[in-house]
Amino acid sequence: MAKKDLHKIRPYGDHWDDGRIQLSFTLPVPAGPEAREAAKQYCEKLGLTAIQIVTMESVAEEFSFFVAYGEAMHHIDFTRIRVPRLEFPILPPDAMVRLAQEKIKRRIVVVGGTTGTDAHTVGIDAILSIKGVAGDRGLEYYPIFRVVNLRAQVDNRRLVEKAAEVQADAILVSKLVTQQDQHLNDLRELSRLLKGEKRLPKHLLRIVGGPRMDHPAAKRVGFDAGFGPGTKPIEVANYIVHELLRRISDGTQSRMEGDSLRQAPPKRRSLFGWLSGGGEDS
């Protein structure tokens, strides 16, 4: 294989730097020779050469689906790419708990849910519930957190009202519904409502996660942090602890009052107890 030049890269398939790519798309025309030629011409307009239409299938009346191969001519300079990302330590659970107990000295209130028309709870429960995911315990497991999980299809105003009521330190929103960027529209509305709610703590962390979310996308819609697919609960927990400590040290809030860790030990519930508990406090 040729030596990599990160200043000039493009896809490869059969051999190094051949530019071979695969793409799929649908055209609003019935399957046939004319449709195949239309697909090829469209690929040409994308700047591809050596085009092969390897699949053409009728997916509905007057609609055809295509899979095409072609060679891309353009290169990019990988060394100039800069992607905003969250930078924070990932402490093991015991060390993270000790840090919060010593520095914050009270339970951190977290309100979460899926908003709008989203009916899924897998993502938010993976982060918040005791069970967690793949052996990584959720925030409910740790004595430093008080979790209020509102579950699915939560109206934005209800989420804001609950966050104000319990004086949340962080809100976690999980978004799955993405047709016509509805997830982004919902998040923009929620961001606007949060900014207008004067009862919320000034240090409130706004966090969003989902299969089509990342940190840059979250920042664009007014949130502090975005977590994408594969995120583990310990990552979210560490971000909350470290970011709250940073905001305290920056003077965002000189004194953070709340439930004492000694006065209010966290409840422990089985998974069945959680599922039957109505999705509120833990």
> Tell me: domain 20-78, CATH 3.30.30.60, correct?
yes
Three-class SS state of 249: helix
Architecture of domain 93-272: 3-Layer(aba) Sandwich (3.40)
Give the model's pLDDT for residue 251.
60
Give the model's pLDDT for residue 96.
97
Residues 118, 183: Cα–Cα separation, whole Å: 9
CB 179 within 8 A of CB 186: no
CB atoms within 10 A of CB 56: 17
Residues 64, 136: Cα–Cα separation, whole Å: 44
Mean pLDDT by 10 residues, the chain (282 residues): 82 91 97 97 96 96 96 94 86 96 94 86 90 92 96 92 96 81 85 92 92 86 90 95 89 48 43 42 53
Give residue 195's identity as a one-letter amino acid code: K
Rg of the chain over CA atoms, in angstroms? Answer: 24
Give the model's pLDDT for residue 268.
45
Q: Where in the chain is the domain with CATH 3.30.30.60?
A: 20-78
Q: Where in the chain is the domain with CATH 3.40.50.280?
A: 93-272
Give the model's pLDDT for residue 129.
93
Look at the pTM and tell me if it is higher than 0.85. no
> Which residues are designated catalytic?
131
| pLDDT tens sequence across 182-206 | 788 888 999 999 999 999 999 999 9
| pLDDT tens sequence across 225-239 | 999 888 999 999 999
